[in-house]
Amino acid sequence: MSSLPVCQTLLLELHNGVLHITLNRPESRNAMSLQMVTELRSVLTAVRDDRGVRALVIGGAGGHFCAGGDLKDMTNARAQGASAHRDLNRLFGALLQEVQHAPQVVITVLQGAVLGGGFGLACVSDIALADHQAQFGLPETSLGLLPAQIAPFVVQRIGLTEARRLTLTAARFDGHQARRMGLVHFVEHDPQALAERLDEVLAHVLCCAPEANAMTKKLLLASAGQPSDAMLDQAAEWFSEAVTGAEGVEGTLAFVQKRKPGWAI
């Protein structure tokens, strides 16, 4: 069995072939910090070749899944120049690629905020379960930014038409709407029902042969076509330009100051 890394931003529990990964920064609604991205990637690397780990269940502590990227990291990167923003953004894209291609079955349990990067993680899961009151959204453009690494995976998950509407309006929506657009597979009305649904899904997953599941997943992803490294590299460049430009500076500052941004015409 794999030796799991020691993590500060994640809670890890391995039980009966299922690794439960809990995003554990509840004070920030589990915003995706650089440390969390790094730790998630290290966990994925540790279990990649271990067929004794049959499924990865990703959830969040404190009633929220993930509220998106950590703006504190963006602020720190701003002092280091445009290349730091590009590199930070691209690391999250690498995480999404690694979750997408994990040989294990990846299940997300979505409650509370499922925004930005959290939305991206939901899009690369094999099976997504949501609370009916979960709040989904892609708020990047309302901050003067781009959903740069997330966008290709969103398009792949729910299609171009819905992706255009959601990214260009920063609209929020609940679990039922997420189910209708194909983002999630199951919607439940309370934590107990969500836990029971997870148990049911895991029972089905564990009926399947682990190597057969891994190869089937690889085949399905190859059949669908995948966001390329070149595409995500370009997206990171565009993100860097946006976050250091006038709109990005105004949008992120307005968010921190809890006011509406003033977009220059």
Q: What share of the chain is helix, strand, coil (3-state, %, to 5)?
A: 50, 15, 30
Query: H or E segment at 223?
Result: helix 210-224
DSSP for 61-112, please give it.
GGG-SB--B-HHHHHHHHTT-HHHHHHHHHHHHHHHHHHHT-SSEEEEEE-S
pLDDT at 108: 98
Domain layout of the chain by residue ranges: 1-190+207-265
Write out 153-192 in H/E/C secondary structure: HHHHHHCHHHHHHHHHHCCEECHHHHHHCCCCCEEECCHH
- Looking at residue 1, its pLDDT comes to 60
Q: Tokens in use for 113? A: 């905020």
pLDDT at 116: 96
DSSP secondary-structure letter at 208? S
The pLDDT score that the predictor gives to residue 129 is 98
* Cα-trace Rg, the chain: 18
All residues at 6 or more sequence positions from 67 whose CB lies less than 8 Å from its CB, including other chains: 28, 29, 30, 31, 113, 115, 116, 118
Cα separation, 236 vs 241, whole angstroms: 9
Residue 10 to residue 242: CA distance in whole angstroms: 30
What's the average pLDDT block by block, 10 residues per block, for the chain (265 residues)?
Answer: 90 97 97 96 97 97 95 73 82 96 98 97 98 97 94 97 97 98 97 97 96 95 88 86 87 88 82
Q: pTM here?
A: 0.92
Residue 119 has what pLDDT?
98
* Cα separation, 109 vs 103, whole angstroms: 19
What DSSP letter does each residue of 78-90 carry, written as one string?
HTT-HHHHHHHHH
Tell me the fold of 1-190+207-265: 2-enoyl-CoA Hydratase; Chain A, domain 1 (3.90.226)
